[in-house]
A and B are shown apart, each in its own frame.
Chain A
Amino acid sequence: MAVPAKTSSTTAWWLIAPGVIWMTLFLVIPILMIVYVSFWTQTTFKIESTLTLASWQQFFASDTYITSLFTTVRIWLIVLIATLVIGYPTALYVGLFVKNKTLSTILLVICVIPFWTSFLIRVLAWRPMLGKEGAINIILQKFGIISAPIEALLFTELSVIIGMTQIYCVFMVGPIAFMLGRIDPNIIEASRDLGAGFWRIFRKIIFPLSLPGVVVGAIFVSVMVLGEFATASALSGRKVNLLGNIIVTQVGSLKWALASVVGVILTIVMGIVVALFLRIVDLRREL
């Protein structure tokens, strides 16, 4: 018994309404509110809805805030490249080289499991690794590679980058491995029969076909790294201040308007980054 088209469309709307209302109330309006409040007047402990550009001027007049904008972009770029360079070979092995389906699933699961554990504990776990008396320094000294412990490993920008790379790597590996797994082995076989070396096959076939995966991974990693603050404050000893850290400190001192300005700037930066990635590949067509 076919349900008439009109009723099924009404049913669809009833089913979707709670979700749409939820997302509108608790996601869209809040984001619009951030934009709105960024133009509010900030007094010592309060914000009033009189519109002003004061908080915006305060942001762009301050060296601290501008520096943190550049730090955020720099760390994002480094982490993005690091996750790609470190994650790609893993994805290549899991998605293309492992012919056994079970083994490849197991490897992927091993990579994904940390995603289900506490993010903060994963960040914290880098402290005893990187410290002056940390595991890395002890191992390097034992093998006589270094004579004195490297102090630059913890509470620096480097420790933040190492921590973020480890935490966000899996978001790069997953999508790339997925795209590589879909490559028809016959294409590679054919090009090998025609005498192409691995490097050439990689450049001409494997990499281009994995590009949508790279773009999806890059979008995930970018959005998460740009919105980060916890890794920076836990592993840099508050030396690295990202835009996210500014938001947290400003809210802590009840400077809601300035926090909102930083929030809007963060959103704009992310928007630009995502738009740029989407220009590389037409995801709707490729996926």
Chain B
Amino acid sequence: MESRVLKPILAVYVALFILFLYGPFFILTILSFQQGPEGGPQFPIIEWSTYWYRHIFGLTEASRVAPLPVGQAMTRSLILAFMTMVTSTVLGVMSAQAFRKKFKGSDIVFYLIVLGMITPGLLTGLGVALVSKNIFNVDRHWWSTAFVSHVVYTFPFAFLVMLAILNRFDASVEEASWSLGVSPMRTFRKVTFPLIFPGVLSSMLFAFTLSYDEFSRTLLSSNEQTLPLAIYGTFAVEIHPNIFAFGVLTTLFSFSLLAVYAILMGLSVRRAKKIAIQEEIG
């Protein structure tokens, strides 16, 4: 391989690729510090200011730019993301547990679950809306129809993550616990759960962030606005740098979730290593 020539070229290419991925967000961040309220959503920066950040929190005087309608939507999104996270993680752990032994029809069940993450959100949303309207005759709400369609999307992620974890799992520790007369519930709590904790944590991260940012499923399955719907609503009218500032804040929120995840994950890996070392010494 002429890797001496090719490798540096590819390295430069990857740098450009990362620029392509992050460049737009970088520009958006710069423009969120535009002067307000006259400064528009484009260059040049008239004067650096935090006006639009204060604008989001209602700390500026009233101007022609209406405040972003995100307060209530934010609360809904956070509660919805939490509900989705708990439900899909529980479903994911249970289903993956079932898959540890091959059972009749496991192939079909596998595809049924995975179907949830590859079906486009628009179709899930449309279908759930049709069913609720024409079969159950119930209204669409963020906590009912939107919630179930979010779980349809996030449960497969949790399931696949848990399946990957359980595949590498040594079943003999559980059997040892059982044979010592520990009840299955207690064995799960004391033996199984600590071992599958990294998977549970990853499932929770997937479910929470995907639900928090979920847009296409919610659009047709909820009558009220969640955060992404509120953001989408502002696209139709003239945009102002306040939406950029909001984008920076919500991205920082996502990043901090990732950071918390990374820290917890690091701790659990460290703990697992410690136990392994102790066992070896013992």
Q: Which A residues fall within an 8 A CB radius of B?
A: 1, 8-9, 11-13, 15-16, 18-20, 22-31, 33-34, 37, 47, 49, 86, 89-90, 92-94, 97, 107, 110-111, 113-114, 116-122, 124-129, 131, 133-135, 138, 166, 169-170, 188, 192, 197-198, 201, 219-220, 223-224, 226-230, 233-234, 244, 247-248, 251, 256, 259-260, 263, 266-267, 270
Contacts and interface: CB of A to CB of B under 8 A. Distances in A.
Interface string B140-173: 0000000011011001000100000000000000
B14 A119 contact: no
The B contact surface, by secondary structure, is: helix
Given A16-B103, A121-B231, 7 more contacts: A15-B98, A22-B155, A93-B7, A111-B21, A247-B220, A259-B126, A260-B126
B223 interface: no
Given A23-B115, A23-B116, A121-B247, A30 B124 contact: yes
Nearest to A219: B118
A20 B126 contact: no
Contacts of B216: 227, 229-230, 244
17 contacts: A16-B95, A19-B94, A20-B112, A26-B151, A27-B112, A30-B124, A110-B21, A116-B213, A118-B251, A121-B231, A126-B24, A127-B41, A128-B31, A227-B121, A234-B232, A244-B216, A263-B123
The A contact surface, by secondary structure, is: helix
A129 B254 contact: no
A27 B101 contact: no
B113 interface: yes
Contacts of A49: 134
Given A31-B123, A166-B24, A244-B122, A125 B95 contact: no
Interface string B32-50: 0000000001110000000
A73 to B, nearest CB: 15
Given A13-B98, A117-B213, A129 B134 contact: no
B23 interface: yes
Given A26-B149, A33-B127, A118-B250, A197 B2 contact: yes
Given A26-B128, A92-B10, A256-B130, A120 B231 contact: yes
Interface of B: 1-3, 6-7, 10-11, 13-14, 17-18, 20-25, 27-28, 31, 41-43, 91-92, 94-95, 97-99, 101, 103-104, 109, 112-113, 115-116, 118-124, 126-131, 133-135, 148-149, 151-152, 155, 159, 175, 178-179, 205, 209, 213, 215-216, 219-220, 228, 231-232, 235, 239, 243-244, 247, 250-251, 254-255, 257-258
A147 B179 CA distance: 80
B235 A234 contact: yes
A160 to B, nearest CB: 14
Contacts of A228: 120
B155 A19 contact: yes
Contacts of A12: 98-99, 101, 103
B178 A118 contact: no
A127 B258 CA distance: 26
Contacts, number: 253
Contacts of A170: 21
A31 B24 contact: no
A230 B234 CA distance: 13
Closest A-B pairs by Cβ, 9 of them: A227-B120, A30-B127, A125-B24, A15-B98, A121-B247, A16-B98, A93-B10, A19-B95, A12-B98
Nearest to A137: B43
